[in-house]
Structure 1
């Protein structure tokens, strides 16, 4: 996990996103035990309420589930839910803006695809 927080985003969201990233990257799989709230509090040295807020959002979205007295676990289908959510967000946050700017600059669809392939190939 990364403990450097970005000041532009609430910490509870960043904690939540780090757990989401572990699920997306298959570091945490369905029915695996997720880090406990106490483990996260100790690791990040942040307030318990902050961690709980991020964890509770994942529970509400059925990404994690609680086993009373045992801990939090990754729900079946959590990775697929997160991928779908992140793809929608990617389109809204990046693709729509890219297409709007390309239209202003009179960049064709073919040129956009060429640029994307060039950038993706160089990484």
Structure 2
């Protein structure tokens, strides 16, 4: 597996983000054991200490919990915590960027809302 080399995010943050994605999509469920720092290091071809930093981020955010001698596991409500964090963080930044761009292009609130509604409806309907 490869991490994005063209991002400003440190590698350990990218590892944490990847694990969060795995939890949100259901690849890991509550109380599932997740990859060790050594497995992650091998998967992403990074130093085990770097992988450990990614795991520590998730531990500090109560997304993972540690069982001494057994490894790390997915915490209860981890997916909800991740979704909330992403809504409050990246989604809000994206909305701010969208609003700035719409303002610069002279797109009205009504036009923007109609665009969003149309795109959401197309996604719900799926490919034609």
What secondary structure does 1:73 align onto?
strand
Alpha-carbon shift at residue 111 of structure 1 (Å): 1.0
CA offsets 1:2-39 (integer angstroms, 9 cap, x no match): x2221222111111111000111011111111111111
Give the aligned partner of residue 105 of structure 2.
Answer: 105
Query: Which has the higher mean CA deviation after the structures are superposed, 53-62 or 103-112?
Result: 103-112
CA shift, 1:58, in A, is 0.5
Contact map agreement 2:3 2:44 (CA 8 A) in 1: no
Is 1:4 the equivalent of 2:17? no
Measured in 2, the distance between the counterparts of 1:53 and 1:77 equals: 22
What is the root-mean-square deviation in Å for CA atoms of aligned residues? 1.6
List gaps (5 residues or longer) in structure 2.
Answer: none
Unaligned regions of 5+ residues in structure 1, if any? none
Query: Which secondary structure does the structure 2 equivalent of 1:66 belong to?
Result: strand
Which of structure 1's runs of 4+ aligned residues deviate more than 4 A?
none
TM-score normalized with structure 1 length: 0.89
Q: TM-score normalised to the size of structure 2?
A: 0.85
